Structure 1
Amino acid sequence: MRRRWAFGLVLALGMPLASVAVSGAAPTGPDALRVDLDDILADARLKGAHAGVVVRDPATDEVLYSRQAADRATPASNAKLLTAAAALEVLGPEYRFHTEVVTNAPQLGPVLLGDLYLRGTGDPTLLATDYDRLAEQVAAAGIREVRGRLRTDDTWFDDVPLGTGWVWDDEPYYYAAPVSALTVAPNTDFDAGTVIVRVVPTVEGRPAQVSLDPPTRAVRIDNRTTTSAEGVADVSVLRDHGGSRVVVSGTIPAGAQPVEDFTTVVDPSAYAAEVFARALAAHGVVVRGTGEGTAPGGARVLAERQSMPLRELLVPFMKLSNNGHAEVLVKAMGREVRGEGSWAAGLAVLTEQVRGLGVDPQALRLVDGSGLSTMDSVTPEQLTVLLDNARERPWFPVFYDSLPVAGVADRMVGGTLRNRMGGTAAAGNVHAKTGSLTGVISLSGYVTAADGRELVFSVVFNDFLGSSPQDLQDAIAIRLAAYDGAADQPRGRVRVPRARVLQDDPATSVDESALECSWVKAC
C-alpha cells in the first residue's frame, strides 16, 4: 500500500514546502517524482491555466504522472507528431514528390508547336536551382522555342491555399505560407511559398536597396526604407492582406550588414511558373507567356525531378517545425489513399492511421496538420499513447531521429530545442517536439531516465497570461532525465538554464526564450 505523507513549512529554516515531511517517511520512486512535478506545476504563472502532463513508462505501461491527462487542449506544433507518424504509415519513409515537365505538342526541329506543362505533386523542396535543372533538360531535348504557353498544372491538390482557423494577420509570414502542388522554396530550410527580401544600405538619407531571392514578380516591392547614419537596423517586411504588394519600411545604418526577411506569395503556382520561365530563358528556350492548365493524359515527359525521400524531409520538417511540410503531407496522404489532395481527405486518412497507433479519434480534433490552427484539440494522454506505440513501428528510428534534441547547437539536430536545457541531464537526451502559439506551449517526446529506462511524456500548457512558463516544461524534462526509478527521491526545485541568445550581434540580440525557435529564423 502506498504510504501517505504530508508537507510542512519550516519558516525558521527557510525550507521550501516540498522539502520537509511532517509525518511518515519521505516518498521514493514514482511518489518522489510526483512530489517534484507537483511542485513545478504549482508555479503562479499557471494559475487559471490548463496544465496537462502525462509521463509513461513504456516498458511497464505504468503512468508515472498524470494531470489533466484526458482534458483536450490546443497542441500547437505538437500536432506534427500525429502528422509525421501518419505520413510514415501511409506514404512510407521512401516516399518522394515528383515534378514533371510534359507536353503533347509535336516538335518541329527546335520549335514546340504547342503548350509546355509544369506538373507538380506538392514538392516543398524545389529550389530555383532545381527549376534550372528542369529547364536544362528541356533545352537538352532540342527545344528552343515554345509556340504555345508555359502552363502550370497544380491539380494534384485542391485550390484551398490556407488552413482552417489560420489567423488572417499571420498570412504574410513564412510560417503561414499558402499550400500548393507547385511552389518554390528560397532556401534549404525549404520554406516553400516564400521569397527572401534582402535589404542593403546605400548612403545616408537615401532608400536602401531591396532585392528578392529568387528574383520574381510574384510580389511587388514598395520600398519605404531609409539609410541612416548610425544606429541599429529596424526593418519591417509586410505583405498586404490578400495582395501581392510588400511594404518594406524602416531604417538601416550605412555600412551595416544586409538584413534579410521573408514574405509569402499570394499564388505559389504562378511563382513557380515565373521562376521556371526565367530558367528556360537562361537556357535559350523562349516561351510566349504563362498560364494555368491541366496536362493532357498521355503527355510525354521532357524533364522530371524527384524530391528527397520522406525520411530525409522529416528532418527539416520536425527539427525546424515547418508548417508547410505538415500541410503538404496531409494533402499528399489524402491524394494517395482517397484520390483527393485536400485537408478533408488527408485529415480523414490521418485519423484512420493514428487510430491504428492506439489514439482515440474521439479524443482529438485536427483541422490542419501543423497545429497552426487554434481549432486543433488533443489530450496529452493521447500524445503519449502515440509516442509509446510508435516505438513498435519499423519506421520508428526515422521518427525518433527527426525530433529536436535538447541542448544540441546544430540546427539540424537540436532544431527548436537547440537553445534549451543545455548543460543539464536533459541535454543530448530529450528528443521532443515543441509547440507554441499565443497562450500555448507544448513539449512531447522521449527522455532516458537516470536508471536507463526510456520514458515518454507530454506537457501541454494553454491559456496562461503574462510571461511564458516554458522554463517549467524544461524543468519537467530535466527532472525526468534525473529520475532514478525505485530509488528516486524528491530533489526540490530544478535548475533551468536560460535559453541562449539567438543572434550573434549583442546590439540586435533579443531574448526569445518565450518563443518556439521556429518562429525566429535567427535560430
Structure 2
Amino acid sequence: MGRRTTLVALSLVTVAVLAFGAAAAVEASETAAEPVGGPVPATPVLSARRVPGLIAAPVADRRLTAALDGLVARQSGTTCLTVSSSGRTVYTHGPDVALVPASIEKLFTAVAALEVLGPDHRLRTRVVAAAEPVAGVVAGDLWLVGGGDPLLATDSYLARFRRQPQIATDAEGLADAVVAAGVTRVAGAVVGDESRFDSTRYVDEWPARFIEQDQSGPISALTIDDNFATFPPSPEVPVPDETPAPDPPVQAASVLTGLLAQRGVTVAAPPAAGVAPTDAVELAVIESPPMSEVVAQMLRESDNQTAEVLVKEIAVARGRPGTTADGVAEIAEVLGELGLPVAGSVVADGSGLASSNRHTCELVRAVLDRGGPESPIGAGLP
C-alpha cells in the first residue's frame, strides 16, 4: 500500500498505446506533492482512452501516422510512442530510446513477481512461540514473523482510502487466529521479527523529498498499515498526518498487542523487536491475497511500498539476501530470461521513484503484449 497514488498513465485494451518520457507517469497524489524535479522533462504515458477515436476505427495507416506524428510533435522533450493492434506494430516513434519510466517501472516488478513467485503464491505472516500455550498461557514471548506481505492492514487503516474495498490482508483476522489457538495470556511480549529482509527503510537513491512526502512507508519484511504509526482516519479527514514508524517491527508488535487486548488477551511486557527461534511452534498464520491480486493492486494504486517490498521478496525467492540491490538484479535477470528486449534497460528500484531507471518503449510494448488484457497485469491497469 504505502503512498497510494492514482496512476493515470497506463492503460491496456485491445490496442496498446504507449508513450513515455523522462518522468513518464502522470500521478495525482492523494495529498499535494512536489513535482519530480531534475533536468528531464515529464511526458505522459497515454491511455488508449485519451488517444483520438480514429485509432479505434478502421482508418488508413497514413491517416493514423499523420495524426500520431502530430501528437508526438506536441510533446515536450524526448518521447517514445508505440501503437500495436493484436500484436502488430502499426506506429512507432523512438521505440529503442531508453528513458526514465517513473511508475511504469512497476510493470517490470509485476512481471518478475508473477514469474518468480507465481500468480497463486500467497505471502504468510506467522505468530509463533517457543512452546504451545498451557491453559491458555504462552510462557514466554509471542513472535510476529514477517513474511514479506506488504498488504497486512487493520480495518482502521483501510478506512482512510477513498477506493473501497481495498485489497488487503486482514490484521484482525490474524489476531482472531491467535485467540482461536487458545491463547488468553502472554507472559512475555509480542516481538516483531523482520529478519526475512534487511532493515534498510528506503531506497538509497531516492531524494529526501520523496521520503518527506511519504511516497512510501518504511520498507520491512514485517508490515502492518504500511508501517505508519499515525494516519488520517478517512479520506474526508486529513489529520493526523502520516507518521512513519521509527521501528517497524516494534510498531507491528504494538498493533498486534492492541488487537489481542481488544479480544481479551493480556500481554505482560511491552512490544519489542527480535528474531524468533528456529524451532518455534506456529500458533497462527494469515495469508495474503494471491500474487495476481497483489500485483494488480500495486499497478492500480501505483503502490510504491508494495513494489519495493516485492523487490526484496523476489530476491529471497531467488536465493539471495532480501535487499533492494539483490532484488533489482534479479528483476533485470528475469526480464532477460523471458526474452524481452532489455537493451538499454536499468532497474534501480521497484516503484520508479529512482531517477536512474531506464527502459524503452519497445520493452513496455513487449511486456503488455506478453500478458494481454486478461492477465493479472492487464487487470491492474486503469
The equivalent residue for 1:176 is 216
Q: Secondary structure at the match of 2:126?
A: strand
CA gap of 1:365–1:31, structure 2 versus 1, over 3 A, is: same
The equivalent residue for 1:329 is 310
Pick aligned residue for 2:362 from 364, 367, 381: 381
The equivalent residue for 1:403 is 381
Pick aligned residue for 1:29 from 39, 60, 67: 60
Residue 56 (1) aligns with residue 96 (2): no
Q: Give % identity.
A: 32
CA gap of 1:258–1:385, structure 2 versus 1, over 3 A, is: closer
CA-to-aligned-CA distance 1:354-398 (integer Å, 9 cap, x gap): 12333244421111111111111111122112222334xxx9622
Residue 156 (1) aligns with residue 196 (2): yes
- CA distance in 2 between counterparts of 1:402 and 1:162 reads 25
How far residue 157 of structure 1 moved from its aligned partner, in angstroms, is 1.2
The equivalent residue for 2:30 is none
Q: Which amino acid aligns with 2:344?
A: A
How far residue 339 of structure 1 moved from its aligned partner, in angstroms, is 4.1
- CA distance in 2 between counterparts of 1:136 and 1:298 reads 23
CA gap of 1:74–1:31, structure 2 versus 1, over 3 A, is: same
- CA distance in 2 between counterparts of 1:119 and 1:402 reads 29
The answer on whether the counterparts of 2:371 and 2:378 sit within 8 Å (CA) in structure 1 is no
Structure with higher strand content: 1
Q: Which amino acid aligns with 1:52?
A: C
Aligned residues: 307
The equivalent residue for 1:259 is 238
CA gap of 1:36–1:308, structure 2 versus 1, over 3 A, is: same
The equivalent residue for 1:317 is 298
Q: Secondary structure at the match of 1:54?
A: strand
Task: Note the 1:84-233 alignment, pairs <5 A.
Answer: 84-105=110-131, 107-129=133-155, 130-185=170-225, 192-194=226-228, 197-198=231-232
The answer on whether the counterparts of 2:99 and 2:360 sit within 8 Å (CA) in structure 1 is yes
The answer on whether the counterparts of 1:96 and 1:307 sit within 8 Å (CA) in structure 2 is yes
Q: Secondary structure at the match of 1:55?
A: strand
Residue 277 (1) aligns with residue 303 (2): no
- CA distance in 2 between counterparts of 1:99 and 1:173 reads 28
Pick aligned residue for 1:67 from 87, 93, 113: 93
How far residue 114 of structure 1 moved from its aligned partner, in angstroms, is 1.6
CA gap of 1:310–1:106, structure 2 versus 1, over 3 A, is: closer
The equivalent residue for 1:502 is none
CA gap of 1:172–1:300, structure 2 versus 1, over 3 A, is: same
CA gap of 1:333–1:258, structure 2 versus 1, over 3 A, is: closer
CA gap of 1:350–1:398, structure 2 versus 1, over 3 A, is: same
The answer on whether the counterparts of 1:152 and 1:292 sit within 8 Å (CA) in structure 2 is yes
- CA distance in 2 between counterparts of 1:133 and 1:376 reads 38
- CA distance in 2 between counterparts of 1:361 and 1:51 reads 18
Q: Secondary structure at the match of 1:363?
A: coil
CA-to-aligned-CA distance 1:317-370 (integer Å, 9 cap, x gap): 111111111112211111111242222222222122212333244421111111
CA gap of 1:297–1:76, structure 2 versus 1, over 3 A, is: same
Q: Which amino acid aligns with 1:126?
A: L
Residue 365 (1) aligns with residue 346 (2): yes
How far residue 148 of structure 1 moved from its aligned partner, in angstroms, is 2.5
- CA distance in 2 between counterparts of 1:66 and 1:106 reads 63
Q: Secondary structure at the match of 1:305?
A: strand
Q: Secondary structure at the match of 2:91?
A: strand
* Runs of 5+ consecutive residues of structure 1 not aligned to the other structure: 1-27, 186-191, 199-211, 214-256, 405-523
The equivalent residue for 1:288 is 269
The answer on whether the counterparts of 1:74 and 1:378 sit within 8 Å (CA) in structure 2 is yes
- TM-score by length of structure 1 reads 0.55
CA-to-aligned-CA distance 1:455-484 (integer Å, 9 cap, x gap): xxxxxxxxxxxxxxxxxxxxxxxxxxxxxx
Task: Note the 1:332-343 alignment, pairs <5 A.
Answer: 332-343=313-324
Instruction: Give the root-mean-square deviation of aligned CA atoms.
Output: 2.4
Q: Secondary structure at the match of 1:53?
A: strand
* Runs of 5+ consecutive residues of structure 2 not aligned to the other structure: 1-58, 156-169
How far residue 195 of structure 1 moved from its aligned partner, in angstroms, is 5.2
Task: Note the 1:396-435 alignment, pairs <5 A.
Answer: 397-404=375-382
- CA distance in 2 between counterparts of 1:396 and 1:357 reads 19
Residue 346 (1) aligns with residue 327 (2): yes
CA-to-aligned-CA distance 1:477-520 (integer Å, 9 cap, x gap): xxxxxxxxxxxxxxxxxxxxxxxxxxxxxxxxxxxxxxxxxxxx
Higher gyration radius (CA): 1
How far residue 74 of structure 1 moved from its aligned partner, in angstroms, is 0.7
Q: Point out which structure has higher relative CO (alpha carbons under 8 A, 6+ apart).
A: 2
Q: Which amino acid aligns with 2:185?
A: E
Q: Which amino acid aligns with 2:238?
A: V
